[in-house]
Chains A and B, each alone.
Chain A
Amino acid sequence: MKREPCFRIYLAIILVIILVCLSGCWDSEELNKISIVSGLGWDLDPDTGEVTLTYQSIIPSEIKSTSGMDGGGEQKGGSALRAIQLDQDTGASPYDVLNRFTQHGSRIPFYQHTQVYVFGKDGAQKGIYGFLDTQARNPVSRPNALIVVSEKKASDILGIQDGMENIQAFGMAAEIKLSAQFSKYPAVTRLDFQQRILSKTTAPIAPIVGIAEEISSQGEKVKRLRVMGTAVFKEDRMIGQLNERESSGLLWTINKIKKGFVIIPEASLEIVRAKGEIVPELQGDQIIITIEIDEESNLVEYTGHQDLTSDILQELEKGQAKEIESQVMAAVEKSFALDADVFGFGEAVHRKYKKEWKDLQSRWDEIYPNIEVVVKAKTHLNEIGDVRKALLKD
């Protein structure tokens, strides 16, 4: 009679029971013991060097009641916060603040779902390295969380109820992603930001969010969030910003154009497909960068009163190319003025001229403003819609 298998199973059962009981549930994080942090704000007092962190946490019970049957009943008007709670603490470093925070919260902060890191502009100009290191070192932080620079203090931005989302930080993230999707301003994740810092020559960028006052339907003044520019960093310090036009130029160059519109006199064109490429060339000591942009678009708006003949279509294409080129040149000029390589020209040179790069890299800050940039935009009009002849003629 074989008894071995039987015996082994007993042993296995005993082992499993011991294993399970000894380990216990030390790692368990019950959902009602954690507070889910949706957004994290970072401010630095330029004088004292003290860090203030603002936690935006989700109040789950509020979510429950709004998604339930009586949801939406208690419409809190205007800018009142829904389903979130703000907490603030100040300390010497981010972890010093974190450490303090556990003293007055009832739940453990849970950072795994944090969607945005908001940096106050004043602090960002001093450098955000400390915070970035904390996030990069800690595996609980999402690498795809968005980096945002706030025009005022981060704590102000996180406190503004905006849009249709219950959870403000999610709304903010959605707003930034939407602006990136329509090629207005870049959406920068923590990972993108880190990679740009690591590349030594490339300047990190981040969208800037500010507060705009609008008139609500009730006639009151309400505060709304608005993406207003692109912050340019040198290493971890913010040194300047790009406006709307310059931001678009940047996006054309770094091949981040997805959807969106090109507006030229008398016509608007919807971008269907776009491709930007940086082609460097080394001529002796001079670096020539050619930015090649390939674009296809549809005509969505034509306010001129002429029939769309092929001549006019060609003109539109040309006008479009000119507009793109001027956007890119605006960005290039601004970046030269800031002496910050936001496009990653350095990386492009590095890829093509590996041998020469060692020498160039050390002098990059001097070289950069003297680069010769040529922009070549090729545009193609795909469709012009159902109207070929102008409805109204001059």
Chain B
Amino acid sequence: MFRLLSKKLRRWQILSSKDQTQTKPDRSPVYLSKNLEGNLQILREVLGQSSDVIIREMKISSDSNVDAAVIYIDGMVDRNLLNRDILQPLMFNLQLIKDHIRQNHSSLIDFIKSSVLTVGQITGTEDIDRVISDVLKGHTAILVEGVNQTLLIDAKGWETRGIEQTTNEVSIRGPKDSFTETLRTNTTLLRRKIRDPRLTFQSLQIGERSKTDVAVVYIKGITPDSLIEEINQRLKRIDADAVLDSSYIEQFIEDNPISLFPTIGYTERPDVTAAKILEGRAAILVDGSPMALTMPFLFIEGFQNPEDYYAHPFFASLIRWVRLLGFILSIYLPGVFVSLKAFHPELFPTPLLVSVAGAREGLPFPVVLEALLMLMLFEVLREAGLRMPRSLGQAVSIVGALVIGQAAVSAGLVGAPMVIVIAATAIASFLVVPFADIGALLRLLMTIVAGFLGLFGMIIVQLEILSYLAGLRSLGVPYLSPVAPLNIRGLKDTFLRAPLWAMDSRPASLNSPDMRRQSPDQMPQVPKTESNQGGNQ
């Protein structure tokens, strides 16, 4: 029977894959001609009749026969800059240009570039596709009659959100700035944290239609070259319509096509990104997304928090254990409770069993159903609270608290112990944010399995998950490292957080070519001077 099923599945997969074999149309580049009118014609055709495309034609010489055109997209260029440094010089230097044309017409474009325009970044090109893409990026193009070249001026300027406080990854002591939607702002934030000349932003464009700028960030000599190569290969393979957020990239370059656990991390914090890059990871910044992707992402990173490194090591270690415990609770607690109640009541301590049995009296549904009901109710409330317009949010929380907390119990739908279990689970599930989504899925799975098979089933599923995790890789790095495969030196930043002076090498599992992070003997010591004999003031 299984063979039949597997055959069917395989055929279905092959069939579905056949539809996707269209290839990218291959076009040879089109070049500009010397005819301004012709060039404009082509551009008009391509850019269409969009109202935001501005083609400003003008005469730039007192000889009326030298025409020129400036092309830009309204709203994407800095108008002040455009007027003051592009249009004004072009149109006020009529005599100068006329004089130049008399001497040498062909180098007119170079002359404008070198002597007329007072802006920073100017490039010349003959490729009409390049012109179009750059104009769409926010550049301003200048075309001149009789010249088969165009000048592309970077005078981008549009409304952006400023750098604001972190909203998702809050820390008490650390820096409070977060990434914004603008790629350049984000790269600046990173550059300001790491002033190493070897910090590299390697840019490329992804998206057939969106043409989104994507930057791979790494430090040469710390991030292994093989990792960069692998990332580039995966990025180049992407042939998507649009990349609207960094999560689009994430889904295209993950190791495991339908991974349950995230194998690529994300963060909105520049300090976290910088720290990960300095550990030998690479980051990807995507224009339009305030989240940086970091990779490889290991399981243990889910339990690390920027605050860990700013707080005292002992406290950070304690909190890390709390997070581990919370994660375990959030996945297993309802399942364990259900299986104890439905299959193994002997495992309850006797007084607890008596009170649980008391609460169970007269309830209409089996325990599994009760647990699933409450879990779903919680997910519904969570989702509603998240998506509701902010002004309505309070209504949800009031109703939720009443429904989940009091009414369900007094109405005799669910037992009070179940409410406590689900509430504890719900709160625990928010401790480890990267795994909150998968945690919700696993929790449901565990509860269902517990309802059918008890602890026995939960153990089977757990083994399955563990073997799955052990086989998972993030850009070639085993997902469970440094725990499995075990690396004793790498454990400094897993279950305990060692003091910063003790973490003198980069994580070994990341294979950084430069393992040395700092000099190893930096433990703070009491200075051995005579004046310090008392030990304290």
Contact = CB atoms under 8 A, between A and B. Distances in A.
Interface of A: 1, 3, 5-7, 9-12, 14-16, 20-21, 23-25, 27-32, 34, 36, 58, 60-64, 67, 110, 112-113, 115, 140, 167, 170
Given A1-B17, A113-B353, A32 B362 contact: yes
Nearest to B348: A113
A27 B454 contact: yes
Interface in B332-356: 341-343, 345-346, 350-351, 353-356
B457 A20 contact: yes
Interface in B430-458: 448-449, 451-454, 457
B257 interface: yes
Given A20-B448, A67-B355, A115-B350, 17 more contacts: A5-B257, A11-B5, A12-B464, A16-B464, A20-B453, A21-B452, A23-B452, A30-B342, A30-B360, A30-B367, A31-B341, A32-B361, A34-B345, A63-B357, A110-B345, A113-B353, A140-B346
A9 B260 CA distance: 11
B360 A32 contact: yes
Contacts of B366: 28, 30
9 contacts: A9-B258, A12-B464, A28-B343, A31-B356, A36-B354, A60-B361, A112-B346, A140-B346, A170-B350
Q: Which of B2, B257, B449, B452 has the most CB of A within 10 A?
A: B452
B355 to A, nearest CB: 6
Interface string B1-40: 0100110011001000100000000000000000000000
A110 to B, nearest CB: 7
Nearest to B10: A7
Q: Which of A14, A15, A32, A62 has the most CB of B within 10 A?
A: A32
Contact of A27 (B343, B358, B361, B449): B343
A167 B345 CA distance: 18
B94 interface: no
A67 B454 CA distance: 29
Contacts of B10: 3, 7
B360 A31 contact: yes
Contacts of A31: 341-342, 345, 353, 356-357, 360, 367
Contacts of A15: 2
B361 A61 contact: yes
Contact of A20 (B257, B356, B361, B449): B449
B363 interface: yes
Given A28-B343, A112-B345, A11 B358 contact: no
B359 interface: yes
B528 to A, nearest CB: 48
A115 to B, nearest CB: 7
Contacts of A14: 5
A167 B350 CA distance: 11
Contact of B357 (A6, A20, A58): A58
B453 A36 contact: no
Contacts of B367: 30-31
B256 interface: yes
Given A61-B361, A63-B358, A64-B358, A10 B9 contact: yes
Contacts of A21: 452
Interface string B381-422: 000000000000000000000000000000000000000000
A7 B6 contact: yes
B363 A167 contact: no
Nearest to A111: B346
A135 to B, nearest CB: 14
A25 B451 CA distance: 7
Nearest to A64: B358
Given A7-B9, A28-B342, A60-B357, A20 B452 contact: yes
B488 to A, nearest CB: 31
B342 A11 contact: no
Contacts of B361: 32, 60-61, 64
B146 to A, nearest CB: 52
A281 B141 CA distance: 113
Instruction: Give the interface size bracket for B toward A.
Output: 35 or more
Contact of A25 (B5, B353, B452): B452
Interface string B306-350: 000000000000000000000000000000000001110110001
Interface string B250-287: 00000011100000000000000000000000000000
A12 B5 CA distance: 12
Given A6-B257, A58-B354, A60-B354, A11 B453 contact: no
Contact of B354 (A12, A29, A63, A140): A63
Contact of B6 (A11, A30, A110): A11
A358 B355 CA distance: 53
Contacts of B350: 113, 115, 170
Interface in B446-481: 448-449, 451-454, 457, 461, 464
Contacts of B356: 31
Listed from nearest, the 4 A-B pairs whose CB atoms lie closest are A112-B346, A64-B358, A63-B358, A60-B357
Q: Which of B6, B350, B359, B454 has the most CB of A within 10 A?
A: B350
Contacts of B5: 11, 14
B9 A61 contact: no
Contacts of A167: 354
A297 B461 CA distance: 56
Interface string B93-105: 0000000000000
A383 B457 CA distance: 58
Contact of A60 (B13, B351, B360): B360
A21 B452 CA distance: 8
A196 B4 CA distance: 61
Nearest to A173: B350
Given A1-B17, A7-B9, A113-B353, A29 B343 contact: yes
A11 B358 CA distance: 42
Nearest to A14: B5
Contacts of B17: 1, 3
Nearest to A10: B9
Contacts of A63: 354-355, 357-358
A173 B226 CA distance: 69
Contacts of A110: 345
Nearest to B448: A20
A25 B367 CA distance: 12
A24 B452 contact: yes
A11 B2 CA distance: 8
Contacts of A115: 350
A23 B453 contact: yes
Nearest to A34: B345
Contacts of B461: 16
Q: Which of B10, B361, B457 has the most CB of A within 10 A?
A: B361
B13 A3 contact: yes
Contacts of A67: 355, 358
Q: Which of A11, A31, A167, A170 has the most CB of B within 10 A?
A: A31
A12 B258 CA distance: 13
Given A31-B345, A63-B354, A113-B353, A6 B360 contact: no
A6 B355 contact: no
A113 B352 CA distance: 11
B258 A6 contact: yes
